Structure 1
Amino acid sequence: MNSEISTRIPTPISPLGEMTLRLSSTPRGARLARRLTQRQLVEWGHPYDGEANRRAQQIVAELAANAVTHGRVPGRDFELRLLLAAEDALRIEVSDARGDRGLRIVREPDAEGGRGLIVVTVLATAWGVTARDVGKTVWAELTLPGGTT
């Protein structure tokens, strides 16, 4: 596992809002995760074209793409969970069924992939990985400025 991946224990939050969905481990499921995130944030008072919504969508897109590309187990879905906290904080969790693969951040400029976690690092206030009974959960926390919640 990469030494830059956060190992801090995530702070439990008491959610004002929560959405949990299981989606097919396919590119279509990853796209749907992003769209459903966008709609849920609109419901929570963060406009479609707002910075908070765009950041959340991008983080979900990267984590969901990783789940369907590297965490896919045939016949198993991935899970998207969004938690909205009182302090205008959003926790994004994407869980997949494959726990045997570590995460890596690619730094070679000519590499074809591996930049998704760099994007998450830039957009999120914190992120990390936690093990599950089956698979792993990659989580990211994001401050949501300008909400109307």
Structure 2
Amino acid sequence: MTSSVTRQAAVTVRVFTQRFSATPRGARLARRLALHQLDRWNLPYGSEVSDTAGILVAELAANAVTHGRVPGRDFELVLTYAPGLRLRVDVSDTRGERRPASAAPGPLDEGGRGLLLVDALASRWSVLDRVPVGKTVRAELDLGS
């Protein structure tokens, strides 16, 4: 009996985690630090992946500080990068009962288009329960050919 074993190249997964104040300033800082970290991981400023990730972080962080804010509580950004495979953006807040709505806004609504951008740019996105409290909104970009 012959066994066929396929070997896959080892992948080093890189992770960046940071908490930010749940303020507009914290959301801006999250985007800036995310882009800086991606540049350090050889995903340079201005590249398609960097620009897309920047928009995802900006939208998810803005949602966390606008809809998921609890006074005195921070939000958390986690970037997980598997080179050549996937970039994952997780933004967590402490308002588990307020889930993102994916309903399309009306033509005269002033807001509500952030998740439409996330849906259009991410390979997939989802909302996960965060233990012990809160939620995590996850957006993933597939990087493989």
Pair in the same fold by TM > 0.5: yes
Q: TM-score scaled by structure 2?
A: 0.87
Tell me the residue number matched to 2:127: 129
How far residue 72 of structure 1 moved from its aligned partner, in angstroms, is 0.2
- Partners of 1:35 and 1:143 in 2: CA distance: 22
Amino acid of the structure 2 residue aligned with 1:114: G
**1:97-108 superposed matches below 5 A:** 97-105=94-102, 106-108=104-106
**Distance in 1 between the 2:49 and 2:134 partners?**
29
| Percent sequence identity over aligned pairs | 56
Rounded to whole Å, the distance in 2 between the matches of 1:114 and 1:15 is 37
5+ unaligned residues in a row in structure 1: which ranges? Answer: 1-13
For 1:145 and 1:47, the matched residues in 2 are separated by 17
Using a 3 Å threshold, how does the CA distance of structure 1 residues 79 and 15 change in structure 2: closer, same or farther? farther
Structure 2: gaps (5+ residues): 1-10
Q: Which residue is equivalent to 1:141?
A: 140
Q: Does 1:25 align with 2:12?
A: no
* Cα contact 2:99–2:127 (8 A) shared by 1: no
Return the index of the structure with the highest Cα Rg: 2
Question: 1:13-52 CA distances to partner (integer Å, 9 max, x unpaired)?
Answer: x762100000000000000000011001101111101110
Aligned residues: 133
Select which of 61, 77, 99 maps to 1:64.
61
* TM-score, normalised with respect to structure 1: 0.84
Instruction: Provide the alpha-carbon RMSD of the alignment.
Output: 1.6
| Residue of 60, 76, 80 corresponding to 1:79 | 76
Larger RCO of the pair (alpha carbons < 8 Å, separation 6+): 1
